[in-house]
A and B are shown apart, each in its own frame.
Chain A
Amino acid sequence: MFDILIANLPYLMKGTVQTLWLAVVGVGLGTLLGMGLGVTSAMIGGGVPALIGTYVFIIRGIPVLVWMFLAYYMLPQLGLVVGDVTAVIGALVLYTGAFVTEIARGAVMAVPRHQTEAAKALGMRKFTMLRLVILPQAVTLSIPPLLNNSVMMIKATSYVSVVGVWELTYAAREVVERTLAAFQIFLGVMLIYFLICYPLTLAARYLEKRYSYEH
């Protein structure tokens, strides 16, 4: 019943590896970028938060697929990057970054004000306070939404196939076009994505619940 799926499993596994690689690099770098921007935006005054806010607003208002097309056509034309893969990873990083910026900023802002007041009363300088008081609390708060965001972006890595970059979903389409076994292959590949994403979703839910009990 699943003969075609099983026969093509090695090929699909190669695609899975490529998907995981895209996810780790794109979502990983994007998360780092977003955390930097988010904390900066929450801690620094002046025009910086507005600038970062504009970046978030523009990125989030436009489909990630459009960013991928834009990166795919624009970056090579500008001579900035070579290769389709690098271009779409750029789009993934920017997109992840925008969402993580909001999460990180929200988490820092959610640390109660009396915490910063207590730290100031103890004579801590801004950076010490950030390192010792705010970030440790903000990190706990932000892990569940970061995990959920990672799930969203792992799913979004499949969109690079529309631009023409080879990974799991692209491989699935190739197999279906060759074998016409749409149900077997697409359901099988959905299961692969599910096995990657669902543990992260469950972890996020568990941590969220544990956190809400502690408070």
Chain B
Amino acid sequence: MDAILSFFGFGFIQSQLPRFWDGFQLTLAISAASMIGAVLWGLALVGPRMSGVRTIVIPIVAYIELVRNTPLLLQIYLSYFGLPLLGLPLSAFMCGVIAIASQHGAFLCEIFRAGIQSISRHQWEGALALGMTRRKAMRQVILPQAVLKVVPPIGNQLVILIKDTSLVSAIGIIELTLSGKMVIERSGASFEVFLFIAAVYLLLTTTFGVVLRIAENRLRARQ
């Protein structure tokens, strides 16, 4: 870290590192919480979404289309300003996580669905012919294959999720992006601060991407 910093000559940034470190940790925490929430939410949606029961499918599709076709920032505002009005005493952190998990869960649901649909009818028949119920066939035969197919698009989606956590700066959570803005505005530092912030994000998303690719290769190697 020191070498990189002195290479750019950013002595000032070095002095502000504790602030950025706090922000970075919050970015990690929001990313992790939102990822878990989004994956669980996506999994919860995909069953009903594919149930074929119109009264269930229609509201879910409406919800998915709405959150996919409107800005996440507005959904964060809605969560942050709206949920307390419903009497839910949630922290800004929770409101941000709920909004991010809600939108990315909707995207993930569609990714899961595409993965399940890509497994051929023959696999269903093979499982059913062995006397498996649909639930068993789904769990033991279809899902394990679908998971492998959707690992790359899920990875892409989660990288977008990490980047999207920067938006919670708009509701006053001092994560990485807002910590940069605050340093600039409180100490009159110049734009180099944001070059540094950008580099940290690049490092974070790239590392995450590499880890995912290794995990994917491990999974694939088993077959």
Contact = CB atoms under 8 A, between A and B. Distances in A.
Contact of B205 (A61, A73, A162, A187): A61
A190 B198 contact: no
Nearest to A76: B191
Contacts of A66: 166, 177, 180, 194, 197-198, 201
Given A65-B166, A66-B177, A169 B73 contact: yes
A183 B78 contact: yes
A74 B78 contact: no
Contacts, number: 112
Contacts of B69: 151, 155, 193-194, 197-198, 201
B199 to A, nearest CB: 8
A69 B179 CA distance: 12
B125 interface: no
Given A61-B201, A159-B73, A201-B69, A69 B85 contact: no
B184 interface: yes
Central interface residue in B68, B73, B75, B190, by most chain A CB within 10 Å: B73
Given A155-B70, A187-B78, A194-B69, A65 B191 contact: no
Contacts of B169: 65, 162
Nearest to B199: A62
Nearest to A69: B194
Contacts of B197: 66, 69
B58 interface: no
A136 B198 CA distance: 37
A159 B167 contact: yes
A190 B82 contact: no
A187 B77 CA distance: 10
Interface string A188-215: 0110011001100100000000000000
Central interface residue in A61, A64, A159, A198, by most chain B CB within 10 Å: A61
Nearest to B84: A182
Bin chain B's interface residue count. Answer: 35 or more
A77 B201 CA distance: 23
A193 B206 contact: no
B202 interface: yes
Interface in B69-88: 69-75, 77-78, 81-82, 85
Bin chain A's interface residue count. Answer: 35 or more
Contact of A64 (B74, B163, B205, B206): B163
A182 B180 contact: no
Nearest to B162: A63
Nearest to A200: B69
A87 to B, nearest CB: 11
A158 interface: yes
Contacts of A67: 198
Nearest to B85: A182
Interface of B: 65-66, 68-75, 77-78, 81-82, 85, 163-167, 169-170, 177, 180-181, 184, 190-191, 193-195, 197-198, 201-202, 205-206
21 contacts: A61-B206, A63-B163, A64-B163, A65-B166, A65-B167, A66-B180, A69-B180, A69-B181, A69-B194, A70-B195, A73-B193, A73-B194, A74-B194, A155-B69, A158-B74, A159-B167, A172-B77, A182-B78, A186-B81, A194-B66, A198-B69
